[in-house]
Structure 1
């Protein structure tokens, strides 16, 4: 059964917030398609892919970036963000299209593909340290000295509400295409903004399962500890799912509206990434394939007849790595 959010303690992001975000950003983002997976992917179940890796800038992050810039006052100094890559590309894109300056801080582990994509949108790129947390610290210092608006990749109500539009869209399109209501959705987790947005939309109605790499498990660790805690980060998907600590806002949503977290090995993520390319010609980055890895590796085992949705959330990858 879906996790029931306590009526006595409202979620920090609501369906109304997501509806408002949808109205705000719908003319700026792409309504990404659904794809019914082959029957042999999970025999006895119906699996639907949400192809969010076809979003502008290559990931779901574009939704949260536009919702931030369209709902907050942007100063003359422009905007700044810390990112493993995808949030930086999305923020640079949103800033460019809305006429704002952008400076993006990335960690040393950020891929060359993502750094090039940020620069292609006209943003300045600065290396902010070894890991995502270091880049965020550098970003914070820049904002303090320049007055630039920080667009946080996950720990902001505007970001979470923007990402939640994915679920609103998905629910509507499942019905329009006659695919039936989903029972469970599998959502990759970095800092928690995406899974929190999806869970806020579907709280109490659909099972939302977070998926994290074994070597980067900030939400799972927080749920075990009862509060956000720092975790080590070492994973093939660290450039997109490499937050050291889950956001406080995502944690508040997840602890009441996410069913559980499935942990997947890097080998399973790589296998899912290669299967998507081999069987569907879908070019996914490792983090984008993590949710599928939970299904393929048995870390999430659906019941017979279950309707499962898998969010393919990022496609900023060098195609040469998929051979």
Structure 2
């Protein structure tokens, strides 16, 4: 039995985010927003030299830089929000099948889906390639998911997942390409604004665009600027903005494990088409330097995707071609540190 055909909206609205916030309240950890401690601008260096200038921090009562510590979320990333909203919506609407929910992902989305399913007391089946690390398989199983290994590549696992949907009637979830997933992610922005109501700018890293679409929708509604940061060689949103439609892009970055989507969603493209959104690119050395700065300067161990957001904010005008956003002197900026499912050996 296949899933009934449906037409997904191509634009997210703020009421979608508000509804998600009400639906998942008490089911996720509210984000902690911390002010970066005052200090002079610093430069973080990689083996080939300094490539990124850390933004200055100031008195949090006047102006400065903030971190949204979303890596403290259940399962280690923001994706718990969208997974909860997705499953709870289908349960409320009576559209959750007996076969449960399924997803092809051994990464953050798969973990979030399995965890949210366990929380709701429903079945989850997660498809992975046979080459998936055993630690991921065991973590998924610890959340109560049925893990099915199929093929040697992700594409083969995804195909097996689709076959399972068609044969069993299971509900197909996605890492980012779903309005319920994006709306759930957007609840992060509403929580940030309750703690910094006069925020000027929020900075997020972008892969396929689920987090960005949700956060930018909420930010734009409140008149807050969104800076969308992508690795230079994983620029699905930037390419979509240039083309006027989602297009396939090559994927090659140290942050590709989380941000390596080949195509941005229509929801992300629609959310980006406003004067309140700024799209910037950073190279891998800037990402590595920002991640190192977060560890050396703040003792925050995050994944490269989280460091990508900070890499997009410069303490001084970036050199030609290096990308980045430079805040005004009195601008309040919150950088979303979206996840910390990372190894510690390369910090």
Residues 30 and 191, structure 2, Cα contact 8 Å, conserved in 1: yes
CA RMSD of aligned residues (A): 2.4
1:190 to 203, 207, 223: 207
Find the residue that maps to 1:319 and give its secondary structure: coil
Residues 106 and 137, structure 2, Cα contact 8 Å, conserved in 1: no
Segment of structure 1 superposing worse, 82-91 or 137-146: 137-146
2:167 to 134, 140, 145: 145
Give 1:255-266 correspondences, 5 Å limit.
Answer: 255-256=273-274, 259-266=277-284
Alignment TM-score, normalising by the size of structure 1: 0.87
Segment of structure 1 superposing worse, 187-196 or 104-113: 104-113
Give 1:103-122 correspondences, 5 Å limit.
Answer: 103-106=125-128, 114-122=136-144
- Match status 1:290 vs 2:308: yes
Q: Give 1:320 shift.
A: 2.8
- Match status 1:254 vs 2:267: no
Residues 85 and 110, structure 1, Cα contact 8 Å, conserved in 2: no
Give 1:134-283 correspondences, 5 Å limit.
Answer: 135-175=157-197, 181-203=198-220, 205-256=223-274, 259-283=277-301
Unaligned runs of 5+ in 2: 1-8, 41-53, 319-323
User: Structure 1: how far apart are the matches of 2:137 and 2:173?
Assistant: 17
Q: Give 1:296 shift.
A: 4.3
User: Structure 2: how far apart are the matches of 1:84 and 1:217?
Assistant: 22
Q: Give 1:133 shift.
A: 5.9
Find the residue that maps to 2:196 and give its secondary structure: helix
2:100 to 78, 88, 97: 78
What per-residue deviation string (whole Å, max 9, x for no partner) do you get for residues 53-83 of structure 1?
0000000000000000000132111111133
Q: How many residues align?
A: 308
Cα separation, partners in 2 of 1:138 and 1:244, compared to 1, 3 Å: farther
User: Structure 1: how far apart are the matches of 2:180 and 2:292?
Assistant: 34
Unaligned runs of 5+ in 1: 1-9, 176-180
